[in-house]
Amino acid sequence: MRAFIASAIGVTCAAALALPLAAPAGAAPDTPAHSTAAPAEASDPAALPGSTQSLALTSLSTASARAPGETGTAAAGQGLAERDVRAFSMVGVVWDDVNAELHGTAQVRTRATGTGRWSGWQDLETHNAEHSADPGTAERDSDAVRGSTAPLWVGDSDGVEVRVNPEAPGTRDASATPVPLPAGLHLELVDPGKDPQEPPATGAAGADRTTLQADAALPALSRSATDAAAGYAPGAKPYIGPRPRIVTRKGWGADEKLREKAFAYTKTVKAAFVHHSATGNNYTCSQSASVLRGIYRYHVKSNGWRDLGYNFAIDKCGNIFEGRAGGVTKAVMGAHTLGFNTNTMGVVVLGTYSNSNPPAAAVNAVSKLTAWKLGLFKANPKGKVTLVSGGSNKYKKGKKVKLNVISGHRDGFATECPGARLYKKLGTARTSSAKLQGR
């Protein structure tokens, strides 16, 4: 992802969720920054899980905006002083214009619920719209859509402080005029709510309660039925990997009242773009569903998207989750790779893999998922494909681009995503995926 700023202290992700505390004065639960009234779900917090607090940032003095030990005369930024808030577990910063970029740094520190212990300053990845619907689509051009940082998983917290500073003059070009911070900066504090249930343990290696029994809701297809659905002629050799176990949206607790009711589809799935979520690596696999619910709520309530941006998610234990709604076997249009959402799917590995190696279980899950899903659409994981750009900072709209069938986000957009360490593993994923297809 673009302008990724490595945290000197790492990302801390911990703690189980708790029920919300009393709301601070002036903070309506789940109220978007651009809204003048709380939506219906805010009137009954027990009816639907989770909530979002949206707090406007204000100007900070130069001294308070500066990190400890920093000197100089950099322009003052925006932020919020240390304060008590209702319980949350994920945090991000949003702004009004989805096309505006945040040239600078966004940092937060949080207080763990129960212990009263404050974290050190942690960096938010300055997302800069590279994960979004394509230009010209209704989802991208909606008045509700906003620019944002990546969300950060911080665990159960009840206190927060934030500072957003513009980059120092001369950072990019000594002669360039400093770029001001985007207008309408708000801090988004997300409570993902409780897990939907406590299912029995599966006994599978590396799996815990996040591998939910709701996978039974996905119909099991015979090999012949799968081959026929993929368009293979009777007697032809199909190249479709076995369908992996997938945790459904119901299984991970997606609140279907958040998203738009309608679905959006493309004609086929020619390629898969692999991402990392940049939400940190210290979550436990029993928290994966909570992390995913947090991302989902952030994408819909904070970013203004129609649904979760990714088509599938994978955690560090190799558990696979259904992402954007519309059917796991179908060509659902996501909002994951700006300019290349048509005829592709987005797979996000939960975590940050710029300086940390992705677990083998996660890479294996990428192979299993792509062997099956790409096989349904006759795509060779080791092959190349030509896609037409919908417009990005790397390829202008209409340009034909030859890419790997399994690509990293950075292949279609100038970005750090999916992190250097995960990106290096994509060759292994391609080879393993093709073997699972029988190639």
Q: Beta partners for 344? A: 271
pTM of this structure = 0.81
Q: What is residue 173's predicted lDDT score, i.e. its pLDDT?
A: 61
Question: Per residue in 150-160, pLDDT tens?
Answer: 999 999 999 99
pLDDT of residue 289: 97
Summarize the confidence of residues 310-325 as an average pLDDT.
98
- Per-residue pLDDT reduced to its tens digit, 251-310: 999 999 999 999 999 999 999 999 999 998 989 999 999 999 999 999 999 999 999 999
pLDDT at 231: 64
Contact between residue 104 and residue 168 where contact means Cβ atoms under 8 Å apart: no
| Residues facing 246 on adjacent strands | 320
The predicted structure's pLDDT at residue 362: 98
**For residue 194, how many other CB atoms are within 10 A of its CB?**
16
- pLDDT for the residue numbered 35: 35
**Alpha-helix residue ranges (DSSP H) falling in 342-424:** 360-376, 420-423
Residue 143 burial (CB count, 10 A): 7
Q: What is the DSSP string of 388-410?
A: E----SSS-TT-EEEEESEEEGG
Burial of residue 203, with CB atoms counted within 10 A of its CB: 0-12 exposed, 13-18 middle, 19 or more buried: exposed
CATH ID of 213-436, from 3.20.20.140, 3.40.80.10, 3.40.50.150, 3.40.50.720: 3.40.80.10
DSSP summary character for residue 24: P
* Alpha-carbon dihedral angle through residues 47, 333, 393, 168, given to the nearest 10 degrees: 10
Kindly tell me if the per-residue pLDDT of 36 is higher than 50.
Answer: no
pLDDT at 209 over 70: no
Residue 352 CB neighbour total at 10 angstroms:
32
Domain locations in the chain as residue ranges: 40-191, 213-436
pLDDT of res. 225? 56
| pLDDT tens column, 158-191 | 999 999 999 876 555 655 677 889 999 999 999 9
By the 8 A CB rule, do 211 and 247 touch? yes
